């Protein structure tokens, strides 16, 4: 039996050598096709054959045309594959073209142009053909027909459904998700996860600001480093937008906002004080944290009721903490007895000073350290930004952050808390819907801090005309900020979840699980290797239907940097190509109008002294002169404001 096999193999070798000698170009073409099939399946083989044929035709065409005109030559493609000498110049060029095309085809396949695993569409998962077998899996990638009921195609444009949420490109067409087209309509809230260098601003924040402008929505953008304001503010102003800058990085180019004077009632004072303390605390639980919240509430009541407007700001609260406790106690008592301070405010003070005042004072002093920097303190000392203006008219606000902005969480969390609060109030005045819809595009969302009541806001904002789109570097950031249950509730209220790239383990596991599994046709090979000559045998191939994840966690980590994955409620997931804002038709106009620096967007402010209450030497000093405070006295309450339920309720709300 062994001799017979050797004889057969020897005969095959002789025939093969004869064929190669007779048809060298043909063998080269077939070899390139076989290599392409091995590396990339049918796509790889087809690519190699196509390039070989194209090379021959393109190389011979000029000579064949010249010969046809002169009547001296012909066109003989079959001769290109043989090994004999060719007299006609067109045929010689054709043979060289076939050889060059075959070699280039093999090179192209080796570079991955036709490799398996590179194709993701409605019929393929990693190049494997999708099978209809519910027992193995029902998921696959969405095609344009699958997204038609929830998306519009093409760049942002003016008109109905001209904006939406731009997530990428599918089959060379830009996809703008419009969940409100669904029946029933869905909110456009979006969670975007993008690691460092994934293009979150370039391919999401800026394109979606353009999409919002096409629909005439007001825009609130977190702007790391101030680059977005320089780029977009002049263009938006040209389109009729009012531009506001809240600049925590460079306060000299900013409008001012005073959270102390923003508070309108007891509930807002409680939420404000709680957010300031909890977002500055490493440990948000414990008795002393509650005492710090109570003390800050008392100081806010006093500042609003018994100090001039120019001194009623957060930096003054820090100054009051340095007062002798006797002097501060006398100030509270006098303001209450003379009817300027509400009973609630006085009760908060009595509860704060009753025990462990020194611990609460030192802890709160440390947590208010963010306002020790005079530029930030000045930024928070005056009321110039009308937060509800975003819902009344076309306006854009850029919240500019410094590169390292984690220490600003207390300020940012209260800023966005009041923002949502004012928009909700405006919607209530207009039949439950904002006169002008507003879109929040919140980059560096983890640095915003824990916004009081954010779960309730994102659950109910759609009906009011508010769209919230936030960007994280990893889902772990959301869990660290809000805790497990609340982070899950936030994600469940985001019908669009977009992964732009990153290698955070929590994120890749989450998206891999949510993408699900598909039923695909998979090939298996079997070859006997007992004897050495068995390796020369052609392996036996079989095809079966198997279960295959659309994306494993490690595949998401190593995903093409220009690719994105979108989870969209009530439809299949989409494998997309990113779209940079420079590819939009509005890009040229934006570039032409862009400012070179923030100084061109908003004029610089002169440095002004920050009014602070003077520190008394003792408790017998006369109270500082006060102005008109009738508008600042909070509503009177008969209940205790000390360690009462209002503080605990907000603390429970924040987790």
CA neighbor of 52 nearest in space, from 20, 23, 75, 27: 27
Q: How far apart are CA 460 and CA 189, in angstroms?
A: 11
Looking at residue 648, what is its pLDDT? 46
The Cα 48–Cα 43 span in angstroms is 9
pLDDT digits (tens, 9 = 90+) for 219-268: 999 999 889 999 999 999 999 999 999 999 999 999 999 999 999 999 99
Residue that is written with structure tokens 């991955």 in the block: 112
Q: What is the pLDDT of residues 430-441, one digit of tens each?
A: 999 999 999 999
Region 309-314: mean pLDDT is: 97
Do 564 and 516 form a contact (C-beta atoms < 8 A)?
no
- Please give the mean pLDDT across all residues of the chain: 87
With a pLDDT cut of 70, the percent of the chain lying above it is 88
Higher pLDDT, 415 or 181: 415
643 or 416, which is more confident?
Answer: 416
Taking residues 273-277, what's their average pLDDT?
Answer: 95
Per-residue pLDDT of 171-214, as tens digits, reads 999 999 998 888 888 999 999 999 998 999 999 999 999 999 99
Q: Residue 33: phi, psi to the nearest 5?
A: -65, -40
Nearest to 398 by CA among 248, 284, 564: 248
- Owner of token pair 């019929």: 123
The predicted-structure confidence for 92-122, as pLDDT tens digits, reads as follows 777 788 788 888 777 776 665 554 446 899 9
Is residue 465 within 8 Å of 438, Cβ to Cβ?
yes
Note if the pTM is more than 0.95: no
Q: 485-492: long-range contacts (C-beta < 8 A, 24 or more apart)? A: 485/655, 486/454, 486/455, 486/655, 489/455, 489/459, 490/191, 490/454, 490/455, 490/458, 491/191
In the beta sheet, which residues pair with residue 545?
521
Tokens of 394: 């076309």
Q: What is the pLDDT of residue 118?
A: 60
- Candidates 209, 165, 415; CA nearest to 314 is 415
Topology of the domain covering 145-255+385-526+549-593: Rossmann fold (3.40.50)
CA 379 to chain centre: 28
* Helix-then-strand count for the chain, H and E: 25, 16
Record the tokens describing residue 360, joined without a space: 């609460």
Confirm if 156 and 166 have CB atoms less than 8 A apart.
yes
Query: What is the Cβ-side half-sphere exposure of residue 359, based on CA atoms within 13 angstroms?
Result: 9
Between 13-17, 138-142, 430-434, the lowest mean confidence (pLDDT) is in 13-17
115-124, 409-418, 450-459, 567-576, range with the lowest pLDDT:
115-124
- pLDDT at position 515 over 80: yes
Q: Domains of the chain: which residue ranges?
A: 2-110, 145-255+385-526+549-593, 259-377+606-654
């Amino acid at each position: 039996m062994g001799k017979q096999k050797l004889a057969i193999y020897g005969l095959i070798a002789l025939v093969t050598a004869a064929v190669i000698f007779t048809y060298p170009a043909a063998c080269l073409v077939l070899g390139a096709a076989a290599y392409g099939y091995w590396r990339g399946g049918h796509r790889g083989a087809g690519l190699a054959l196509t390039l070989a044929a194209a090379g021959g035709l393109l190389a011979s065409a000029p000579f064949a045309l010249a010969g046809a005109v002169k009547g001296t030559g012909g066109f003989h493609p079959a001769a290109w594959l043989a090994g004999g000498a060719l007299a006609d110049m067109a045929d010689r060029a054709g043979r060289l073209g076939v050889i060059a095309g075959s070699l280039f085809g093999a090179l192209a396949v080796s570079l991955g142009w036709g490799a398996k695993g590179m194709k993701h569409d409605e019929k393929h998962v990693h190049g494997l053909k999708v099978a209809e077998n519910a027992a193995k899996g029902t998921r696959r990638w969405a095609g344009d027909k699958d997204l038609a009921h929830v998306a519009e195609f093409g760049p942002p444009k003016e008109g109905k459904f001209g904006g939406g949420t731009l997530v990428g490109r599918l089959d060379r067409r830009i996809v703008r998700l419009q969940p409100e087209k669904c029946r029933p309509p869905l909110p456009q809230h979006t969670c975007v996860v993008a690691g460092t260098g994934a293009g979150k601003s370039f391919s999401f924040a800026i394109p979606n600001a353009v999409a919002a402008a096409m629909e005439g929505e007001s825009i609130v953008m977190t702007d790391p480093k101030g680059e977005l304001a320089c780029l977009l503010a002049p263009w938006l102003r040209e389109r009729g937008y009012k531009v506001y800058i809240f600049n925590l990085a460079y306060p000299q180019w900013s409008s001012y906002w005073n959270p102390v004077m923003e508070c309108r009632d007891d509930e807002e004072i409680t939420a404000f004080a709680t957010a300031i303390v909890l977002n500055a605390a490493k440990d948000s639980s414990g008795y002393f944290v509650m005492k710090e919240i109570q003390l800050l509430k008392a100081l806010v009541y006093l500042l609003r009721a018994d100090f001039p407007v120019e001194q009623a700001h957060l930096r003054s609260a820090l100054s009051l903490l340095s007062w002798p406790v006797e002097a501060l106690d006398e100030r509270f008592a006098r303001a209450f007895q003379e009817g300027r301070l509400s009973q609630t405010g006085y009760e908060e003070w009595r509860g704060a000073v009753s025990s462990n005042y020194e611990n609460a004072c030192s802890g709160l002093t440390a947590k208010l350290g963010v306002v020790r920097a005079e530029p930030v303190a000045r930024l928070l000392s005056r009321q110039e930004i009308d937060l509800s203006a975003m819902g009344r008219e076309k306006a854009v606000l850029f919240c500019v952050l410094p590169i390292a902005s984690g220490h600003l969480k207390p300020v940012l969390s209260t800023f966005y808390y009041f923002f949502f609060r004012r928009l909700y109030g405006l919607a209530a005045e207009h039949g439950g819907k904002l006169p002008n819809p507003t879109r929040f595009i919140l980059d560096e969302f983890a640095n915003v801090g824990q916004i009081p009541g954010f779960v309730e806001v994102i659950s109910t904002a759609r009906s009011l005309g508010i769209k919230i789109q936030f960007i994280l570097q990893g889902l772990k950031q959301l869990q660290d900020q809000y805790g497990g249950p609340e982070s899950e509730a936030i994600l469940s209220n985001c019908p669009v979840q977009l992964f732009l790239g990153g290698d955070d383990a929590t994120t890749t596991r989450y998206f891999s699980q949510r993408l699900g599994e598909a039923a695909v046709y998979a090939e298996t090979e079997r070859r006997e290797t007992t004897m050495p000559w068995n390796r020369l045998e052609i392996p036996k191939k079989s095809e079966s239907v198997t279960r295959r994840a659309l994306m494993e966690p490690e595949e998401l980590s190593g995903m093409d940097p220009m690719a994105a994955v979108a989870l969209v409620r009530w439809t299949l997931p989409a494998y997309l190509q990113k779209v940079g804002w420079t590819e939009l038709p509005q890009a040229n106009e934006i570039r032409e109008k862009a400012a070179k620096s923030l100084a061109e967007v908003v004029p610089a402010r002169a440095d002004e002294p920050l009014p602070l209450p003077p520190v008394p030497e003792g408790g017998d000093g006369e109270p500082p002169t006060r102005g008109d405070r009738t508008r600042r006295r909070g509503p009177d309450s008969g209940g205790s404001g000390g360690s009462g339920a209002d503080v605990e309720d907000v603390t429970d709300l924040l987790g």
